[in-house]
Amino acid sequence: MTMPREIFAEPLTREAFARFGEVIDTDGADAFLINQGRTERFHALAGVELLGDDPRAILSIFRGQPLEPLLITLMERHPLGSQAFVPLSSQPFLAVVAPPGEFDESAIRVFLARGDQGLSYRAGTWHAPLLPLEADADYLVVDRQGPGGNCDETLLVTPVQPLLPTS
pTM, two decimal places = 0.93
21 Cβ contact partners less than 8 Å away, ≥ 6 residues apart: 46, 82, 97, 119, 120, 121, 122, 125
CATH topology (fold) of 5-163: Jelly Rolls (2.60.120)
State pLDDT tens for residues 40-98: 999 999 999 999 999 999 999 999 999 999 999 999 999 999 999 999 999 999 999 99
Q: Using the 8-state DSSP alphabet, how is residue 165 labeled?
A: P
Residue 1: predicted pLDDT: 65
List pLDDT tens digits, range 58-67.
Answer: 999 999 999 9
| Residue 167: predicted pLDDT | 64
Domain boundaries defined on the chain: 5-163
Q: Mean pLDDT throughout 120-146? A: 97
- Give 30-50 as a DSSP string: -EEEETTTTEEEE---S---B
